């Protein structure tokens, strides 16, 4: 006991001086620009001292006029450097601009090379968390390129429509083969599906305005993004009806990492070509998020937003 008491101050000192010590190491893969939720998730991630962000990879987004990962990379840079005002920030990498062509061939990209390289600093007992909030092409490519990566990372994703309905959901539809590769591998996977997001992360028009609209330049930008999206996609035919909310889907991955969800461990399904789930006999499992404590998450989001803006001059 006395020996431990002598060592404890040294351990505390090391935790204080080693960058990222005590934080969750993460890489984010995002199709930012496709909707508004990626912008909220990126903001929550980068302004949150609980995370040691190793890098952010842009994913292709077929719904955009330019669906390439280069287009989402440019949007990503604008979010981080302009709207968040970060001169110094984690590496931003361009991912694959195309989905997998089959289940055996990885798609080369700067994002793939980065993920493979940074993952080698981790191990089965100290994993790198990869948050996937877009097409999972780069994660699946990493598994195909280096199968040993499944012992160095774990994947936390927003994806799938529901446990009953499977993969008929945007992020999965953008690269179904990628998810077939992931689910067929031994990489630990946690999934936040669309039905849980709808039930817990829907944001009404007035709610969004009141929540972020008065919280500094970043809050005003997020509110502006919400308004633009709402009037383009939610309300074009609802002249006086603001009752329909929109869902801030991708923040479910952050809520999970911050222990603000409930979840269950279930047998790991296989994803069929028609995007339904097939039950197979194996020892593999998947963690399925069942609820999000948004009453805790949104105040925490605002607290991190305010704390950052108190120490960073933004216009």
Cβ atoms of 159 and 197 within 8 Å: the answer is: no
SS3 category, 293: coil
SS3 category, 85: coil
Phi, psi of 222 (to 5 degrees): -65, -40
Query: Given this model, what pLDDT does residue 237 score?
Result: 66
CA distance 233 to 203: 14
CA angle 146, 151, 157 (to 5 degrees): 90
Chain segment 2-45, per-residue pLDDT in tens: 444 444 444 444 443 444 568 999 999 999 999 999 999 999 99
Distances (CA, A) of 19 to 13, 22, 23, 121: 12, 9, 9, 14
Query: Given this model, what pLDDT does residue 238 score?
Result: 65
CATH topology of domain 23-201+248-311: Inosine-uridine Nucleoside N-ribohydrolase; Chain A (3.90.245)
CA distance 122 to 91: 18
Distance of CA 36 to the CA centre of its chain: 13
Cβ atoms of 124 and 151 within 8 Å: the answer is: yes
Domain boundaries, the chain: 23-201+248-311
Residues 1-8: contacts with CB within 8 Å, 24+ apart?
A: none
Chain segment 150-185, per-residue pLDDT in tens: 999 999 999 999 999 999 999 999 999 999 999 999
CA distance 11 to 4: 10
User: Which H or E run contains 65?
Assistant: none
Non-local (6+) Cβ contacts of 8 within 8 A are none
CA angle 99, 62, 113 (to 5 degrees): 40
Q: Please tell me the pTM assigned to this model.
A: 0.92
Residue 253 C-beta-side C-alpha neighbours within 13 Å: 32
Query: Given this model, what pLDDT does residue 248 score?
Result: 98
For tokens 């309905």, the residue is 165
Query: Given this model, what pLDDT does residue 265 score?
Result: 98
Non-local (6+) Cβ contacts of 113 within 8 A are none
Query: Which of 167, 214, 223 lies closest to 191 in space, CA to CA?
Result: 167
Q: Could you tell me how many residues make up the chain?
A: 315
pLDDT in tens, the chain (315 residues): 444 444 444 444 444 344 456 899 999 999 999 999 999 999 999 999 999 999 999 999 988 999 999 999 999 999 999 999 999 999 999 999 999 999 999 999 999 999 999 999 999 999 999 999 999 999 999 999 999 999 999 999 999 999 999 999 999 999 999 999 999 999 999 999 999 999 999 999 999 999 999 999 999 999 999 999 999 988 876 667 888 999 999 999 999 999 999 999 999 999 999 999 999 888 999 999 999 999 999 999 999 999 999 999 887
Non-local (6+) Cβ contacts of 133 within 8 A are 28, 29, 30, 31, 37, 38, 41, 157, 158, 171, 249, 250, 253
CB burial of residue 64 (10 Å; 0-12, 13-18, 19+): middle
């Amino acid at each position: 006991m006395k020996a431990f008491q002598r060592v404890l101050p040294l351990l505390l000192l090391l935790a204080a001086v080693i960058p990222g010590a005590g934080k969750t190491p993460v890489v984010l893969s995002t199709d930012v620009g496709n909707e508004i939720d990626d912008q909220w998730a990126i903001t929550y991630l980068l302004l949150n001292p609980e995370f040691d962000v190793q890098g952010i990879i842009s994913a292709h987004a077929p719904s955009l006029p330019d669906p390439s990962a280069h287009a989402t990379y440019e949007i990503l840079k604008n979010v981080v450097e302009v709207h968040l005002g970060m001169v110094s920030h984690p590496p931003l990498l361009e991912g694959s601009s195309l989905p997998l062509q089959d289940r055996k061939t990885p798609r080369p990209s700067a994002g793939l090379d980065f993920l493979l390289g940074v993952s080698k600093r981790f191990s089965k007992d100290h994993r790198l968390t990869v948050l996937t909030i877009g097409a999972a092409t780069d994660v699946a490519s990493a598994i195909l390129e280096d199968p040993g990566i499944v012992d160095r990372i774990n994947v936390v994703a927003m994806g799938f429509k529901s446990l009953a309905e499977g993969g008929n959901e945007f992020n999965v539809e953008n690269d179904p083969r990628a998810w077939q590769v992931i689910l067929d591998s031994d990489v630990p996977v946690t999934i936040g599906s669309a039905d849980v997001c709808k039930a817990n992360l829907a944001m009404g028009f007035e709610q969004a305005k009141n929540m972020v609209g008065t919280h500094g330049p970043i809050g005003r930008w997020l509110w502006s993004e919400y308004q633009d999206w709402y009037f383009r996609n939610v309300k074009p035919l609802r002249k006086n009806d603001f009752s329909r909310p929109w869902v801030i889907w991708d923040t479910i991955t952050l809520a999970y990492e911050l222990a603000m969800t409930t979840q269950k461990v279930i047998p790991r399904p296989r994803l069929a070509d028609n995007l339904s789930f097939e039950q197979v006999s194996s020892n593999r499992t998947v963690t399925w998020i069942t609820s999000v404590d948004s009453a805790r998450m949104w105040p925490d989001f605002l607290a991190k937003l305010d704390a950052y803006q108190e120490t960073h001059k933004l216009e």
